Each structure stands twice: as C-alpha cells, then as structure tokens.
C-alpha cells in the first residue's frame, strides 16, 4: 500500500470525525432549542470547539502530507482555491464562535444562544458545500 495514500486516508478519517462533531452538536442544539439547559449547551459548545479545531488541524494536514511527499503544496487555482479559502474562513469563524459561546453565553439571552447555534449550522453547511467544490475542482 502506498504510504502517502495511507496518510491521506488517516487525515481524511480524522477530518470526517471533526465534521461529524460540529454538525451533530449544532443540529442537536436546534432540536427544541429552548428546552436545552445551559449546561448541555456548554457541553455541545465544547465538543463543537474541539470539532472545529480538528477540522482546522486536519485540513492543514492535507497540505502538509502533500508538501512532505512532493516538496510543494497542492496546485490549487480558481474554484478550488476559492473553496479552500471559504473552508478556512468558516472553520476560523466557527472556532471563534464556539469559544465566544463558552466564554460568555451565560450572559446572553436564550434567543441569542439559539441564534449562535443557527449561525454554527450555516457555517458547517457552507464548509461542507465548499469541501465538495474543493474535491471536484482540485
């Protein structure tokens, strides 16, 4: 088996688990959102923060594997490059929003907490769509 493909596969599995953490927590928080305790929302926010962190690190790892084996980063241009930037921006924004939630949501109105989870859903949905574009055009 090709060692490079093995590393790509491992990174992809880790990347997928990060995506599942972000998506499932954000969606779970929106099922009957006004019935969730603040304690549960904090737990979901921590898992979401970790998920976004995994997304960022594993996403960078794809480039690192390419650089290690080819001496350069993947040659992305046009739609693929735009999709990569969208993924990076959404990941950073999701990470920051989850961190901000953990640090200060106690002071927010419940409607503001629900809005933050809705934004999280928009961010992960946008990231997933950009991933498909990146995969197709890369």
Q: What is the structure's pLDDT at 9?
A: 93
Q: What is the pLDDT of residue 115?
A: 95
Q: Of 30, 52, 37, which is closest to residue 105 (Cα–Cα)?
A: 37
Q: How many CB atoms are closer than 10 A to CB 127? A: 24
pLDDT at 50: 97
Q: Which residue has the tokens 């200060």?
A: 104
pLDDT 10s digit of each residue in the chain, 138 long?
689 889 999 999 999 999 999 999 999 988 887 778 889 999 999 999 999 999 999 999 999 999 998 888 888 889 999 999 999 999 999 999 999 999 999 999 999 999 999 999 999 999 999 999 998 887
In angstroms, the CA 49 to CA 55 distance is: 10
Residues 6+ apart with CB under 8 A from 58: 11, 14, 15, 18
Q: What's the Cα-to-Cα distance from 107 to each of 99, 103, 110, rounded to whole Å?
A: 14, 9, 9
How far is residue 37's CA from residue 29's CA, in Å, rounded to a whole number? Answer: 10
Domain that holds residue 71: 3-137
What is the reported pLDDT for 1? 60
Instruction: Report residue 74: phi and psi, to 5°.
Output: -55, 145
pLDDT at residue 120 in the model? 97
Domain total of the chain: 1
Asked if 78 contacts 17 with a C-beta cutoff of 8 angstroms, the reply is no
């Amino acid at each position: 088996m090709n060692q490079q493909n093995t590393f790509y596969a491992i990174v992809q599995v880790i990347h997928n688990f990060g995506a599942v953490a972000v998506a499932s927590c954000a969606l779970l928080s929106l099922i009957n959102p006004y019935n969730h305790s603040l304690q549960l929302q904090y737990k979901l926010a921590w898992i979401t923060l970790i998920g976004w962190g995994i997304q960022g690190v594993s996403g960078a790892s794809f480039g690192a594997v390419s650089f290690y084996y080819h001496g350069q980063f993947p040659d992305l241009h046009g739609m693929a490059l735009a999709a990569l930037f969208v993924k990076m921006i959404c990941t950073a924004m999701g990470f920051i929003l989850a961190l901000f939630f953990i640090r200060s949501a106690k002071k927010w109105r419940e409607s503001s907490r629900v809005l933050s989870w809705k934004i999280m859903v928009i961010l992960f949905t946008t990231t997933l769509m950009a991933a498909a574009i990146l995969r197709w055009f890369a």
